[in-house]
């Protein structure tokens, strides 16, 4: 009897922990040690403005960096969601992915990161980089044009080179700089984001 009660209570507690974990997606108290180098980037970021030129690879209107409680590819990872809106604020496109982080070790003092995303437009990008203080810099390693079939908007995207840099300006501001060479042209822009959550 006491045993059954204990099992019930444990099950209830577990359910509480699991649901709490989901809500703790930005809670730095639950941040895995390995994600510390990118802790200031955790949150929901809203595009404030942008300068430069872009045709095929515009900055997302929202960037969501959440704590993923489960290790990915053998490393702790941040969940990435990019959302793009139309004028009426409907989501017209999104990218989902992971940012695994490998903290510095004695043998390798660099903090390695990857930025792995799949777009609702059908392509995937694999970027690799490092964290240097308030900056995370990535270079494109692989571009997969069609990971699944979707209707493209008349533009066949082909990315030849891609560099992405996030820089923390202060606790509530970051910039994303992108330099891309596509089959069509060169795009270069700076986008300013403001943290809207937590
Ligand atoms: C992370 O992403 C996965 C897959 O996209 C999703 O199932 C999971 O709920 C996300 N977790 C958080 C904490 O955002
Ligand atoms: C990970 O990096 C942070 C600083 O970015 C450091 O404080 C921490 O000690 C590192 N953790 C390990 C296990 O190396
Ligand atoms: C763009 O936003 C940043 C803050 O994120 C602000 O400092 C800057 O003045 C803005 N630029 C323009 C042209 O509005």
State the distance from the centre of ligand 1 to the C-alpha of 51, rounded, in angstroms. Answer: 31
Answer whether residue 190 shows pLDDT above 50. Answer: yes
Answer whether residue 151 shows pLDDT above 70. Answer: no
In DSSP terms, 19 is beta-bridged to none
Answer whether residue 13 shows pLDDT above 50. Answer: no
Q: What is the mean pLDDT of residues 144-172?
A: 79
pLDDT of residue 155: 58
pLDDT of residue 3: 56
* pLDDT digits 0-9 by tens, 59-116: 999 999 999 888 777 788 999 999 999 999 999 999 999 999 998 989 999 999 999 9
pLDDT of residue 17: 46
Quick one: which atom of ligand 2 is closest to the CA of 105? 14
State the distance from the centre of ligand 3 to the C-alpha of 66, rounded, in angstroms. Answer: 25
Query: Per the structure block, which two tokens stand in for 53?
Result: 């030129």
Neighbours of 51 (CB within 10 A): 9
Q: Evaluate whether 168 touches 41 at the Cβ level (below 8 Å).
A: yes
Q: Evaluate whether 76 touches 68 at the Cβ level (below 8 Å).
A: yes
Pairing relation of β-strands 43-53 and 76-85?
Answer: unpaired
Cα angle for residues 103, 28, 76 (degrees, 5° grid)? 35
């Amino acid at each position: 009897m006491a045993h059954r009660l204990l099992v019930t209570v444990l099950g209830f507690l577990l359910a509480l922990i699991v649901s709490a974990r989901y809500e703790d997606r930005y809670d730095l108290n639950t941040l895995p040690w390995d994600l510390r180098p990118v802790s200031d980037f955790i949150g929901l970021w809203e595009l404030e403005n942008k300068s430069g030129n872009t045709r095929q690879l515009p900055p997302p209107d929202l960037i969501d960096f959440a704590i993923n409680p489960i290790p990915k590819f053998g490393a702790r990872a941040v969940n990435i969601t990019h959302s793009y809106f139309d004028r009426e604020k409907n989501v017209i496109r999104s990218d989902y992915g992971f940012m695994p982080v490998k903290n510095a070790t004695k043998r390798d003092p660099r903090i390695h990161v990857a930025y792995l995303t799949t777009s609702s437009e059908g392509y995937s990008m694999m970027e690799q980089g490092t964290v240097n203080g308030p900056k995370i810099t990535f270079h494109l390693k692989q571009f997969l044009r069609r990971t699944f079939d979707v209707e493209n908007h008349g533009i066949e995207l082909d990315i030849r080179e891609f560099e992405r840099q996030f820089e923390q300006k202060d606790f509530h501001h970051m910039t994303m700089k992108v330099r891309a060479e596509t089959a069509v042209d060169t795009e270069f822009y700076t986008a300013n984001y403001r943290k809207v959550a937590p």
